[in-house]
Amino acid sequence: MPVLPRTRLDKIEWFEQRLDPQHGWLADPGAIGLTAQQVADLADRVAAARAAYDAAQQARNASLSATAAFHAITGDMEGDGRDLIATVKAFAETTDDPGVYARADVPPPAEPTPAGPPAPPTSVTGTITSDGAVRLRWKGTLSHRTFYEIFRRLDGEATWTVLDSVGEKAYLDASVPPGTSGVQYRVRAKRGRHTSAANDPIRLRLGVEPQTGKHALRVAA
């Protein structure tokens, strides 16, 4: 097991304890096999180490204070600068003068990145309500002004009919004609000029348990 502790400060304190003039190494060096000169030289080095440590601590504290002041001042600078940049941009917009950006040496706002085509809806399901309507639900996104078109084809019809466009992920079809034996639905997403593929048709037989896209009878559109 080492005699001296591990840290530099602990080592300074260890030697300071043993150089106590009252009962330490200074009191009777010969009794422990040392000379008075050896102990005096060590005492000088311990005192120098303590002074260097104190100076380092003071410098460290001063550095922390200076760093905090630096961060505060640059934070104020950034806040003021951002406000001025915002004013420049607002002036360029209100005057409709793109040259303001060049004169201010401020980059103009970047063109918005197109969102691209939307993904098709998934997990489309249909539930027959107690009054004979059909409630459709699906998974998808509504971001970037995405909306959904709902298509329906009744049994016996040859073509699909657009029922509605909605900005949500659910739709209630309360317009199924009485006496209809079965109905199919497809849903597709739209965003700007982009249109997704529609889901595989789901078919519901009216008067029986609800069907889902996974288990329903799939019929080609």
State both tokens at 50.
């303590």
pLDDT for 217 equals 37
**151 belongs to a structural domain:** yes
Same domain, 14 and 100: yes
Q: What is the CATH number of the domain that holds 171?
A: 2.60.40.10
DSSP secondary structure code for residue 158 in this structure: S
Residues 97, 171 within the same domain: no
Q: Is residue 63 part of a domain?
A: yes
Per the structure, the count of domains in the chain is: 2
Q: Is residue 211 a part of any domain in this protein?
A: no
Spacing of C-alpha 180 from chain mean position: 50
pLDDT of residue 90: 95
**Inside any domain, residue 145:** yes
**Which pLDDT value is given to residue 220?**
32
Q: Are residues 35 and 98 in the same domain?
A: yes
The pTM of the full predicted model, rounded to 2 decimals, is: 0.48
Q: How far is CA 11 from CA 15, 49, 150, in A?
A: 6, 10, 80
For residue 214, the model assigns a pLDDT of 45
- Is there a contact between 125 and 140 (Cβ–Cβ < 8 Å)? no
216 found inside a domain: no
Q: What is the pLDDT of residue 6?
A: 92
Extract the residue ranges of the chain whose pLDDT is less than 50. 208-211, 213-221
- How much is the pLDDT for 23? 78
Are 132 and 83 in a shared domain? Answer: no
For residues 127 and 95, state if they share a domain.
no
What is the span of the domain harbouring residue 56? Answer: 1-111
**Are 10 and 75 part of one and the same domain?**
yes
Candidates 69, 187, 91, 88; CA nearest to 139 is 187
Same domain for 87 and 4?
yes
190 touches 149 (CB < 8 A): yes
Same domain, 20 and 92: yes
Structure tokens at 198: 């529609």
| The pLDDT of residue 132 | 85
